[in-house]
A and B are shown apart, each in its own frame.
Chain A
Amino acid sequence: MTTYHDDIYATSGDNTLADEEAHVFNATGGDWDQLVDEAAALHEERIVVNMGPQHPSTHGVLRLILELDGETVTETRAGIGYLHTGIEKNMEFRTWTQGVTFCTRMDYLTPFFNEAAFCLSVEKLLGITDQVPERANVIRVLMMELNRITSHLVALATGGMEMGATTVMTVGFRERERILSIFEMVTGLRMNNAYIRPGGVAQDLPPGAIDKVRDTIPLVRKGLGELEMLLNENPILKGRMVDVGYLDLTGCMALGITGPVLRSTGLPHDLRKLEPYCGYETYDFDVITRTEADAYARLRIRIDEMYESLKIAEQCIDRLQSNPGPVMVEDKKIAWPAQLAIGGDGMGNSLDHIREIMGTSMESLIHHFKLVTEGFRVPPGQAYAAVESPKGELGCHTVSDGGTRPYRAHFRDPSFNNLQATAAMCEGGQVADVIVAVASIDPVMGGVDR
């Protein structure tokens, strides 16, 4: 046996199952050939494999417990919680505005969606949904749609890499980087932006941002064309993905699945169309559906959705050009007083603002101090707001007790919900198909565990 009973970090524990003696193979630093010989000597085809939580193809720290009969998966269970950081609890100890800084880190590939869901729900609690300026909404839509592209690109890139297609990975990350540099220019950060705030956005677009977006869109479109040439009719890729991870409409409805997985069954369910927020009803775009309900259909949906997002982004920059309006609600009791500017050491407080509060206006200083340290009060009650994140319905349930901090903030993360479909998608398939099926759900463990 390759078990190491003296290893304090990997003790073999109680190796007996309830009714039968089971053989345990530990693959910690042993020789694979030895392990295979041992397994072969047993003449037992049924084997339980613990895949993850540290496994390169489980999108972070997802633990899959697979029961195998030879190469066939007979049972699958997903174990989560390895990235639980208590974001919801932490938000109860910060002001409503500071909450944005926490929730943006949940699903770290979709920061703008996390922020938007939270802010929409806070705005609903405040009753200021209609007062958010038009320009702020357009910027939100622009950032969310660009973010949708980056998220889908990572889904394709990592999904491709898990199947051994490293070129897909390099192309995907290369294109993502172009958009991340837009995020960096606008928000100061590539990820974890904390840019969308209750009442609007943190600051207006810097000079040159619109031109940068306009210049980047054709480049990304060209890169997407490259990905399509590489993927769409690739016989190896189709061999790995077609009819893999099948989940039909009934299964999706029962398991509450939303996003590309649901749209791959042919149902055009998209919250941007069903209950538009941030003015999505005024944009011209299509909801992409396919009917094959397999991993390949989800891949194609993601590619086509990126083109739709580019279409929306183009409409956004046209509107931004013609609308120089404010980007924060007029109510000074809610609007964040500080202004940001790029300095020599990165984004920070604008020197003009510092000069005003420290040098000229005592009232400005008091106002700044009160709002930044104490925050604003939100009338008691609860609200639920949902946005269509790249992965599905991202909902935010916030409760206020009238104080300056959330009484409770709960996120319904689409990855958390959609991972429940792992068993339905994988059981009865091959071990190698598990990777493809899980990748087609596109779970991000930061969002799953929060």
Chain B
Amino acid sequence: MAEEKDPKQATANSNIDGTQSKASAQDKTAGPDQPASQAATSTAPNQPGTVVDRESGERLPAQPGTAPDPVVVGERRGMFGAVEGGDTSGYGGLRSPILFPGTAVRPYGSYFDEIADRLEGALDSGAGDAAYGEAIERVVVDRGELTLFVRREHLPTVARAMRDDPALRFELCTGVSGVHYPHEEGRELHAVYHLLSITHGGRRVRLEVTCPDSDPHIPSIVSIYPANDWHERETWDMFGIEFDGHPALTRILMPDDWPGHPQRKDYPLGGIPVEYKGATVPPPDQRRSYN
């Protein structure tokens, strides 16, 4: 156990450092003279596994164990939260992309390579109906955690392989958490599953599945992990993701006749101004916020 943990920690740290330095390098290549939006688009169509050399502008293979191409999930405008009215800070025109960790380059480090290899073996051997390359969109290693982005139609296949393959054996699925990224067009809604393998000494893997807001369907994995029954109902309730094949997908936390899905970003928090000793405190979503 102890011997296993140490290298994990070490690689985790090196990954963080690697990611951050690469991300800042990307920022520098974009430079102050280029609009940030161009920098954002230039990172998107990159071949995974290559980085632009700063001096020659040449594409070079990325260092192993790094995540060279950050993914743009949104854009931050201005500073100090001055969104409406006159901005006197001088930062109103600032646009900075929100960069999430990009596709990792082999080797991933820690036990992550073994999991990827085994899953590839299990899927390609025909146990499921999809090959590894088809089912797994990309692999992200960040902060000592492995994330597999799974194409939604292949989620049950991957989940079954993760549970049944003796070398993977993730017995527990600790539920699904939804995340709403309104700026990621065509993949606004994310369902995030965390798997735990007790057999293999507490290994964890994150499966992330995306679906567009216009077609919010993801196959249910309740038949594979029955524990996900209530978790999927909660994610439907809060985000409006429809888990196809769920035995009874009804609201669970909100009342049955509730309109809307409260955890979406476009759903207001609500609240009323509170008057206290002559001053009025606005509701939390209307207070000054720093972005």
Q: Is B227 in contact with A384, judged by CB distance below 8 angstroms?
A: no
A interface residues, how many (CB within 8 angstroms): 54
| Contact status of A93 and B254, CB under 8 A, knowing A274-B202, A381-B101 | no
- Does residue B165 face the partner (Cβ distance < 8 Å to A)? no
With both beta carbons as reference points, the residue of chain B lying nearest to A256 in the complex is identified as B227
- Does residue A253 face the partner (Cβ distance < 8 Å to B)? yes
Q: Complex Cα distance A254/B172, Å? A: 8
In chain A, residues 367-421, which have Cβ atoms closer than 8 Å to a Cβ of chain B? 374-375, 379-384, 386, 393, 395, 397, 399, 401-405, 407-408, 410, 412, 416-417, 419-420
| Contact status of A412 and B175, CB under 8 A, knowing A93-B269, A380-B100 | yes
Q: Is A81 in contact with B254, judged by CB distance below 8 angstroms?
A: yes
Which of these, B98, B202, B251, contacts A402 with CB under 8 Å? Answer: B98
Q: Complex Cα distance A255/B262, Å? A: 26
Could you give, for residues 253-296 of chain A, a 1 whenever the CB lies within 8 Å of some chain B CB and a 0 otherwise?
A: 11111100000000101010011000001000000000000000
**Which residues of the other chain, B, contact A384 by a CB distance below 8 angstroms?**
145, 194, 204, 206
Which of these, A88, A267, A381, A412, contacts B142 with CB under 8 Å? Answer: A381
Which of these, B76, B173, B206, B252, contacts A256 with CB under 8 Å? Answer: B173
Q: Complex Cα distance A330/B230, Å? A: 41
Given A256-B173, A401-B73, A408-B263, 15 other A-B residues pairs in contact with their CB atoms under 8 A: A81-B253, A84-B253, A89-B269, A130-B9, A254-B225, A256-B226, A380-B98, A380-B99, A381-B100, A382-B192, A401-B76, A404-B290, A405-B289, A412-B175, A419-B230
- Does residue A297 face the partner (Cβ distance < 8 Å to B)? no
The contact sample of 7 A-B pairs, CB cut-off 8 A, is A93-B269, A257-B227, A267-B198, A379-B20, A381-B143, A397-B177, A402-B98
| Contact status of A256 and B284, CB under 8 A, knowing A271-B202, A380-B100 | no
**Which residues of the other chain, B, contact A439 by a CB distance below 8 angstroms?**
none
**Which residues of the other chain, B, contact A127 by a CB distance below 8 angstroms?**
13, 16, 143
Could you give, for residues 216-234 of chain B, a 1 whenever the CB lies within 8 Å of some chain A CB and a 0 otherwise?
A: 0000000001111111001
**Which residues of the other chain, A, contact B99 by a CB distance below 8 angstroms?**
380
Which of these, B2, B13, B263, contacts A88 with CB under 8 Å? Answer: B263
With both beta carbons as reference points, the residue of chain B lying nearest to A88 in the complex is identified as B263
Q: Is A420 in contact with B16, judged by CB distance below 8 angstroms?
A: no
**Which residues of the other chain, A, contact B101 by a CB distance below 8 angstroms?**
380-381
A377 to chain B, nearest CB (A): 9
| Contact status of A417 and B230, CB under 8 A, knowing A89-B262, A256-B174 | yes
**Which residues of the other chain, B, contact A393 by a CB distance below 8 angstroms?**
174, 196
- Does residue B291 face the partner (Cβ distance < 8 Å to A)? yes
**Which residues of the other chain, A, contact B145 by a CB distance below 8 angstroms?**
383-384
Q: Complex Cα distance A449/B143, Å? A: 29
- Does residue A100 face the partner (Cβ distance < 8 Å to B)? no
Could you give, for residues 71-102 of chain B, a 1 whenever the CB lies within 8 Å of some chain A CB and a 0 otherwise?
A: 00110100000000000000000000011110
A35 to chain B, nearest CB (A): 28
- Does residue A61 face the partner (Cβ distance < 8 Å to B)? no
Q: Complex Cα distance A256/B206, Å? A: 16
Q: Is B177 in contact with A81, judged by CB distance below 8 angstroms?
A: no
In chain A, residues 22-56, which have Cβ atoms closer than 8 Å to a Cβ of chain B? none
Could you give, for residues 80-108 of chain A, a 1 whenever the CB lies within 8 Å of some chain B CB and a 0 otherwise?
A: 11001010111011100000000000000
| Contact status of A93 and B172, CB under 8 A, knowing A84-B254, A274-B201 | no
B18 to chain A, nearest CB (A): 12
Q: Complex Cα distance A130/B204, Å? A: 20
Q: Complex Cα distance A416/B262, Å? A: 19
Could you give, for residues 164-205 of chain B, a 1 whenever the CB lies within 8 Å of some chain A CB and a 0 otherwise?
A: 000000011111011110000000000010101010011010
